[in-house]
Structure 1
Amino acid sequence: MTYVTPSADRRRLAIDHHDQRGEFAALWLRERSPDADTLDPRTGQRLVEAAELPLELNIHSADVVDGQLYLHFSDGHHTDFDLDTLFDDQAIDPPKRLWNANNAPRPVANFADALQNDTALSDMLESLHRDGFVIVSGVPEETDGMQPLIDRIGPLRRTNWGGIADVKSVADAYDLTMTQRGLEPHTDNPYRDPIPGYIWLHCLTNAAEGGDSTLVDGLMAAQLLRERAPDAYSCLTRVTPSFRYRDDDTDLESEGPLIELDSRGEPVRVRYNNRTERVPALPPEELEVYYAARQAFYQLITGEELTLHLKLDPGQMLIMDNYRLLHGRSAFQLAGGVRHMRQGYVDRDSTASRRRVLQQQLATPQPQGEPA
C-alpha cells in the first residue's frame, strides 16, 4: 500500500510506499516534475527557471493510482511521478566496503575480458568502487600495455610526468618515487587541482628484493580515528594544510584537510603526503593539537592492523582509488633484479560515468534479435 500525507501548510508531502518512507518539499517536487514542460525529454535538463518558482508554492492535491503519484501544484501545474522511480532517484551510489588487514578483499579482473566484454568491465568498475582497488591480470607486458583498457573507460590524465610514466629507480631522481627508498602510505599528487582520481600501476618486471606494494583503506582509518580519538578526528577535518610540488618546470599547489567530509558529514576523501604537505603557521596551541592528531592518524595508516601487502607479478596491474586508499611500498634492492612499473591516472568523473552507464545498459533488456 501507498499513503501520501500533505503537511498542514501543504508545502511538504510525506509518502509511505511499500517499505520506503520519505518527506518531499513541494518546491522540490515541482522543479523536478518529469513532464515535457519542466524537463527536456531528451536531455533531462530543466526547462523552467527554478529560482523563479514561488517560494510559497504548495500542493493542492496528491493522489496515487497504479503506482503513479498525481500532483496538482498551487501554480496550476499538473504532473505525475512513478513512485518507484521517485524513490530510486533518492538512492546514492552503492555503499563502499571498508576493510582492514584481516578482512581485506582481493578483487580481481582479467584484462582481455574487461576489454572485450561489457559485463566484465562493469564488474571490474563495481569492484573498484566498492573496495577501492582491483587487481587486473593478463595485461600485455608492453610499455603502454594498459592503454587499451584505459581507452574503454575515459581519457588518460596527462600531467607534468607525461601520460603513462615509468616508476623505477633512476640516477639523479627528481622525485622520491624514482628511488629505491620505501614510501610511506600516501595520496598521489595532492598538490593538483583536481587530484587524480584513480592510479593505474602496471608491473612489467618485479624481480628486485623488496618493493612490495602496500594499501591502506583511508576511510577505514578515518572511521577508527573517529571512534578512538574523536578530538583528533575533528581536528583533521577542520585544519586545511596545503600541498606543494616544484621542480625546474613545474610549480603546483593545492589544499585540503587530511579527512574531507561530504554534505552529510561523513568522510569522503583522505589526503596524506608527508613529502609535500605544508601546514600553515597557525597559533602554536592549534599546531600542537594538529600535530598530535596527525600523528594519531599516521600511526593508524602505518600499522599492521590496516596494511595490506601485495607484490605484483609481471602482467598484473593495480588500479587504486586515490581519494580513498593510501598506497606505499617497501624499499627494494636492485641487486635482486629489476623493479619496473608503469603508472597512469584516470579521473573520477569519467570512471564513475562509465560505471553508471554500463550498469544502466546491462540492466535494460535488449530487444529480441540484438546481441547483449
Structure 2
Amino acid sequence: MNTAAAFADFRRYPLIFALTAARPLADRVQVTWADGRTSPFHHQWLRDNCPCPQCVYSVTREQVLEIIDVPEDLAPAATRLDDEGCLCVDWQDGHQSRFDPGWLRAHAYDDQSRAERLVNKPKSQLWRRDLQLPVFDYRTLMDDADALLQWLLAVRDIGLTQVRGVPTEPGSLKLIAQRISFIRESNFGVLFNVQSKADADSNAYTAFNLPLHSDLPTRELQPGLQFLHCLVNDAEGGESIFVDGFAIAEALRQEDPEAFAALCEIPVEFRNKDRHSDYRCLAPIIALDALGQVAEIRMANFLRGPFDTSVEQMPRLYRAYRRFIALTREAQFRLVQRLEPGQLWCFDNRRTLHARNAFDPATGARHFQGCYVDRDELLSRILVLQR
C-alpha cells in the first residue's frame, strides 16, 4: 500500500511494516506492527487526524474539523484492521475513521518512532577551509529537475554552493533564482548591483574590505538564501571569503560553553539606515531551534548598534563577541576564492558568513548582481521535487 489521496497531504507513505493487531485501552488504541513495535494512539489524536472527507477538504487537503467540536471523552465503540490492513475506528457518536498503515507509522509518536524520525532528520554538514565546494552547471540546473534537487539539497545541508556557466548579461540571475521560487525584494531592490559608487548606501557598494557578515541582520527575518552573480571582475583583489557560521558556533560551544550561551541569550541590536529607510532588529547573534541546534547566525559588525545590556552582563557579552569574531578569522575556518564572470555563489545567508577583500577599482571594472530567496521557499521546493 502506498496511498495519499485519503489524507491531508500530497505525499505518499510507503508501507514499511504492516499492522498486525489493534488493542483498545482506556484512553488510547495500541497497535502492533509486523516488526514487533507497539505504538499507542490516544483517542483524541486519532479523532483529530481523521482523514475522511467530512474532516479534511479533499481539494485543499486541509483540515476542516476542530477538535473542540467533538467531546473530550469521545471513545471508540469498536476498532479493527480491515482487509487492506488499515486501522478502522467506529466512534461512539457514529463517526468512522480509517487510517492507512504507511501514514500511521510515519506519524507514530511512541519513543522509538520519534527517535527514528529525529535520526533521519536532515542535518547540517559542518565545514572548514578544506570544504570540497559543491559546484553545479547552470544549463543542467535549468533543464534537469534531478540536478536541481541535488543543488538545493547541497544548499540546505552545506550552506555554500557555486554555479558555473551562468550568462553574464545583467538580469540573468533572476532566471536561476526563480528555479527555486520568487525573489524576496528589499530596500536594495529585487536584484541589487554590487559595484563601487560614490553615493553608496551600504559598505557593500564601496571598494572597502567587508568583514564576515550575514546580510540584513537588521530585519526580523534575515533572508534565507543569497545569490551573488559575477558579470565582470577585472579589478585586482575582491576575493570572496566564507566561513560556516554553524561550525564557528559549535566550536565556541565546545571551547567555551559560557561564551556560547551569552551569544544565544543576550540580544544585540543591528541597524541599517540611509536617507530613506531605518531598519532595526534586536536579537541574539546565535539562534537555536526547538531541539537546541544552531539554526541561525546574525552578524554584521558594521551594522551593529552599541551593546545595551546590564552592567553585570556587559563584560560577558564582549568576551563572547570577541571570541566569536576571533574564531572567524582563523585560517582553518575560512574558504577564500575569487569569483569569475559567469559564476555565482548561492549560500545560506542565515548560516554562512561572507566577506570580501578590498579591491582596487582603478585596475578594472567589478560588477556583481545579487538577490535573496527565503529559506522557506528552498525547503518547500525540495519537498515538492522529492515527491
* Same topology, TM > 0.5: yes
Structure-2 change in CA distance of 1:300 and 1:164 (3 Å): same
Which of 265, 278, 282 lines up with 2:305 in the alignment? Answer: 278
| Aligned pairs (5 A) from 1:1-372 | 2=19, 9-11=26-28, 13=30, 18=35, 24-57=41-74, 63-64=80-81, 67-73=85-91, 77-89=95-107, 91=117, 95-278=122-305, 281-360=308-387
String of CA shifts for 1:219-272, please: whole Å, max 9, x gaps.
222222222211122222211222211111111122321111222222211111
Residue 211 of structure 1 deviates from its aligned partner by: 1.3
Q: How many residue pairs were aligned? A: 360
8 Å contact kept, 1:2–1:18: no
DSSP 3-state at the match of 1:275: helix
Which stretch of the first structure deviates more once superposed, 180-189 or 13-22? 13-22
String of CA shifts for 1:289-330, please: whole Å, max 9, x gaps.
112122222222232222222221110011111111111122
Structure 2 CA distance for aligned equivalents of residues 21 and 167 of structure 1 = 58
RMSD of aligned alpha carbons = 2.7
8 Å contact kept, 2:129–2:334: no
8 Å contact kept, 1:17–1:83: no
8 Å contact kept, 2:128–2:247: no
Structure 1 CA distance for aligned equivalents of residues 217 and 370 of structure 2 = 16
8 Å contact kept, 2:243–2:335: yes
Residue 277 of structure 1 deviates from its aligned partner by: 2.2
Structure 2 CA distance for aligned equivalents of residues 165 and 2 of structure 1 = 56
String of CA shifts for 1:33-87, please: whole Å, max 9, x gaps.
2222221122111111123444445566654555533334566543222232234
> Identity over aligned residues, as a percent?
31
Structure-2 change in CA distance of 1:350 and 1:100 (3 Å): closer
Letter paired with 1:105: Q
TM-score by length of 2: 0.83
Letter paired with 1:139: V
8 Å contact kept, 1:209–1:337: yes
Structure 2 CA distance for aligned equivalents of residues 336 and 94 of structure 1 = 48
8 Å contact kept, 1:2–1:15: yes
8 Å contact kept, 1:96–1:131: no
Structure-2 change in CA distance of 1:355 and 1:4 (3 Å): same
Structure-2 change in CA distance of 1:3 and 1:102 (3 Å): farther
Ranges in structure 1 where 5+ consecutive residues have no aligned partner: 361-372
Letter paired with 1:224: A
